[in-house]
Structure 1
Amino acid sequence: MITYEYPLNERIRTLLRLEDLFGKASHFINADGAYEHHVALITLFEILEVAGRADLKVDLVQELERQRQILLSFRENPDISEEALSGALYEIEQASSDLLAMAGKVGQYVRENEWLMNIRSRANIPGGVCEFDLPSYHYWRHRPLAERQRELTGWLAPMAPIREGLTIVLRLLRASGRTESLTALRGQYQMMMGGRSAQMLRVRVADEVASVPEISANKYALNVRFVGAESVARPRQTAADIAFELAFCNL
């Protein structure tokens, strides 16, 4: 099954983007090649760009505290494992503590590194990081693998509390959804929201279905339209009936 996630507010959209970027950064840091490490560095700059758009730390701390209070209300519930509950509470409290310990703006230490900022500004120009533009960066890319990985890891590590916090929030958000099995007749499915609220929608489709969902939603209605997965500017709506799963996720 392929899962498509559709955020319904800007805060969740930002968290999903950061989750994707952190995953890519870790992947390319662990690779061996200089080109992969270049991509890791560019991804680090993208993380700074996304994380710096809002007071992300405050939002994450507030949401983690809200989830902590919800979990505390289950303390006396005999159907809830005390060990599992204590583990979840500890994880949330540790993540909140790490976020509160972060000083200044997210990634400020990178912004204060003139060498990195020079690379970032040149990277915005197509082909702008060639060896004749940035000879010191060309030299860095020829340093030993372990040295490059150590520096990349060091530049990413101070933002680990952001990644830990958003990982917990998104895990809880995904777990909140109750999956329904539905069918889009001739590629189209509509539903009146009827007061139902959600922060994110999750649509799951079988791998062999060569169609992708286009989702639009507001407080009144949800529309899921399946179109061909071919790489064209205006793909056509699928004429066949499409079976899919839908979950409304809300914290």
Structure 2
Amino acid sequence: MIIFEHPLNERIRTFLRVEHLFRQLDYFVHQEDPRSSRCAVDALLDIVAVTARADVRTEILKELERLIANLNRLTNQRGVDREALECILSELHEAAAGVQQLHGPIGHQAREDEFLKAIAQRSSIPGGTCSFDLPYFHYWLIQPTEQRQARFADWLEDLNPAIAAIRLALSLLRSSSSSRTALAEGGFYQEALDAVAPAQMLRVGIEAERSIFPEISGHRNRFSIRFMSPEPQGRASPCGEDVEFQLTCCVF
């Protein structure tokens, strides 16, 4: 099963982008090859750019507070596993405390690093980070793996609490609702959403052997899905067949 996710508000859109970039960073940063360190730096610069907005920290704390408030309402409901609930609430409070204790904006340490600033300025030019453009970067890339990873650890010091909070919030959101089978007649599906309890994200599951993918558009009130068939050349074309898929409207 291949899962496609689509955010239904700007906060979750930002969270998904940060998570996507951190997965790349987390993969490449542990590799020994200098080319992997180059890819890790690229991902780090993208994370720094995404989190440069002053309101990202506020949005993270608002989401954690929202999740805590929703979970607190379940405390006295029958059938709730109190031990599991307290464990999740503890994780959320810990994540919120980690973000609140940050000194300065998220990613400030990496954003103000002169070494990374020089790389970021040249990265906008195709091939602009060659050894003759940035000899210091080339020198750094051929240093022992331990030195490069130690530098990454410094850069990530004030990013890790925010990233951990985002990953926790998205994990809870993904597990908040059960998937259901839906049918896209002629490859098209649309549905109205509950405005009182709006969904934050959609998850669309397709069997791996199907040569199709979804194009999703929507907002808090309504969404639509158009299934597309890839072509060997040129643009993908709409799938005219009925498509059965798994749909999850994540509401927490």
TM-score (norm 1): 0.93
1:96 has 2:96 as partner: yes
For residues 150 and 102 of structure 1, the distance between their equivalents in structure 2, rounded to whole angstroms, comes to 20
Structure 1, unaligned runs of 5 or more: none
For residues 177 and 47 of structure 1, the distance between their equivalents in structure 2, rounded to whole angstroms, comes to 29
Alignment of 1:33-48 (within 5 A): 33-48=33-48
Partner of 1:242 in structure 2?
Answer: 243
Question: Cα 1:69–1:28, aligned 2, differ >3 Å: closer, same or farther?
Answer: same
Query: 1:122 corresponds to which letter in structure 2?
Result: R
For residues 18 and 56 of structure 1, the distance between their equivalents in structure 2, rounded to whole angstroms, comes to 11
For residues 54 and 234 of structure 2, the distance between their equivalents in structure 1, rounded to whole angstroms, comes to 33
Partner of 1:65 in structure 2?
Answer: 65
Partner of 2:16 in structure 1?
Answer: 16
The Cα offsets for residues 77-115 of structure 1, whole Å up to 9 and x where unpaired, read as 452223212211111111011000011122122222212
Q: Kindly tell me the number of residue pairs found equivalent between the two proteins.
A: 251
Alignment of 1:122-137 (within 5 A): 122-137=122-137
For residues 202 and 110 of structure 1, the distance between their equivalents in structure 2, rounded to whole angstroms, comes to 33
Cα deviation for residue 246 of structure 1 reads 0.9
Question: Cα 1:137–1:246, aligned 2, differ >3 Å: closer, same or farther?
Answer: same
The Cα offsets for residues 28-82 of structure 1, whole Å up to 9 and x where unpaired, read as 0011110110010111010011111341111111221222222223333452223
- Report if the CA contact (8 A) 1:29-1:153 is conserved: no
Query: 1:237 corresponds to which letter in structure 2?
Result: P
Partner of 1:223 in structure 2?
Answer: 224
For residues 163 and 125 of structure 1, the distance between their equivalents in structure 2, rounded to whole angstroms, comes to 29
Query: 1:176 corresponds to which letter in structure 2?
Result: S
Structure 2, unaligned runs of 5 or more: none
Partner of 1:143 in structure 2?
Answer: 143
The Cα offsets for residues 139-189 of structure 1, whole Å up to 9 and x where unpaired, read as 111101111112122212321111111112111211222322012122122
Query: 2:151 corresponds to which letter in structure 1?
Result: E
Q: Which moved more, 1:40-49 or 1:231-240?
A: 231-240
Identity of aligned residues (%): 35
Alignment of 1:159-170 (within 5 A): 159-170=159-170
Q: Which moved more, 1:125-134 or 1:214-223?
A: 214-223
TM-score (norm 2): 0.92
Cα deviation for residue 15 of structure 1 reads 0.4
Question: Cα 1:151–1:190, aligned 2, differ >3 Å: closer, same or farther?
Answer: same
**Partner secondary structure for residue 239 of structure 2:** coil
For residues 40 and 7 of structure 2, the distance between their equivalents in structure 1, rounded to whole angstroms, comes to 26
